[in-house]
Amino acid sequence: MARYNSKRQCLSSLLVLLAAPLFLGPSFADQVDQGSSRELYGAECRKQVGDIPDFSCSDGVPVPITVDGKGVPVTKNMTCDRPALLPNGANSDGQCVPNSRILSLSTETMQIAVMCRQKIIRPADQMEFDEIDIVAHNPKTGATCWFQAEGKADQPVSGEKMPSPTSKPSSDFWNAPETTVNNGCGVCHDNDPFMFSPFVGQVWGHMPANPFGPYYHVDLPPPHELGFAKWPTEALNPTDNTCIACHRIGIAETCRQLTDAMTGRFPDGADDWARRFPGSHAMPPEIGITQSSWNAIYKSSVDQIRSCCQKPDQPACHMTSIPAHPQTD
């Protein structure tokens, strides 16, 4: 994912007039010199998506960890029915860590999902997390912003009384946007701001969803781009493909591990239930059919997707840009 990295340095001082027209004040380049990248990105997200409120992870719903459908005492590096697909890392307690929380801050005009993520086993009532992620999306235009806060070794981040990442002045609780760009969230979220997985799918009713809406990544205007706009925003539209009736197929991770993990490849941390049908096939979710029926209905579509991912210039694959409707000043 190095091709999506950005090495721009953080800028200094307070932004005074980000949105002022050029003829009323300093040029945009002069304004950038007066503000940090965190403040500038927060201001651009307020403009294109909206103002994210303060919140607490304690208001979120815990993501269950089960074995054969039942809650069990958790142990380090155990296996489970629906392990987290996103790697927790070598220093974690594995892919089946309990008490991660999902919180929606959505309104009539914004879709906002918060993931308070545990990588270490902690008591359920302990509101300390290893990572807190926000996806903020404007469903009308497609504008999408990304925010992260990450703990360090033996130093998690507090999930109580979280400051808004779009507040004025900005809070250094949140990673600088350059760090978020380097973490490459949009490479996995290549077809939709809100990605389904067996792990998150357990509380999917608490998540916003917009699988066919416009979608693009908010960045700073040229020549001060942070790198968000370089994240992939193209999709495959294979002819007569059953899978794209429910969601798009992005050209990055949807084409790679996500297609495999949803259709029979065992993710890290998978138990025996997750290695057998239907647990081994997360797409479509809870379809309630036999594996023979699944193969008859979906296998050829999955094979076509794999072929298009390997060679997207085939005539039947139809690679196109995901629609976007950026607001104009």
Per residue in 184-221, pLDDT (tens digit) is 999 999 999 999 999 999 999 999 999 999 999 999 99
- Proportion of the chain above pLDDT 70, given as a percent: 89
Query: Cis omega (within 30 of 0) on the bond before 284?
Result: yes
DSSP annotation of 183 reads H
Q: 312's torsion region: left (phi>0), alpha (psi -120 to 50) or beta?
A: alpha
Percent pLDDT > 90 in the chain is: 82
Q: What per-residue confidence (pLDDT) applies to 153?
A: 73
What's the whole-model pTM score?
Answer: 0.87
CA angle 328, 140, 86 (to 5 degrees): 110
What string of DSSP letters covers 236-303?
Answer: E--TT-SGGGTS-EESSTIIIIIHHHHBTPPPTTB-TGGGSTTTTB-SSTT----HHHHIIIIIHHHH
For all residues of the chain together, what is the average pLDDT? 89
Task: Say what the pLDDT of residue 11 is.
Answer: 30
pLDDT in tens, 226-259: 999 999 999 999 999 999 999 999 999 999 889 9
Question: Given a cut of 90, is residue 71 above it in pLDDT?
Answer: yes
> Distance (Å, rounded) from C-alpha 163 to C-alpha 56?
9
**Whether 317 contacts 308, CB under 8 Å:** yes
Whether 88 shows a pLDDT value over 90: the answer reads yes
Query: What is the structure's pLDDT at 22?
Result: 31
How do residues 139-186 score in pLDDT, each as one tens digit? 999 999 999 999 987 899 999 999 999 998 888 899 999 999 999 999
Tell me the C-alpha distance between 54 and 105, whole Å: 10
Nearest one of 323, 304, 187 to 243, comparing CA atoms: 304
Q: What b/e string do you get for 19-58 counting C-beta neighbours within 10 Å, with b at 16 or more? A: eeeeeeeeebeebbebbbbbbbbbbbbbbbbbbbeebbbe
pLDDT digits (tens, 9 = 90+) for 288-322: 999 999 999 999 999 999 999 999 999 999 999 99
CA dist list (Å): 76 to 95, 102, 113, 232: 9, 22, 28, 35
More confident residue, 327 or 290: 290
Q: What pLDDT is attached to residue 171?
A: 86
Nearest CA among 303, 194, 170 for reference residue 248? 194
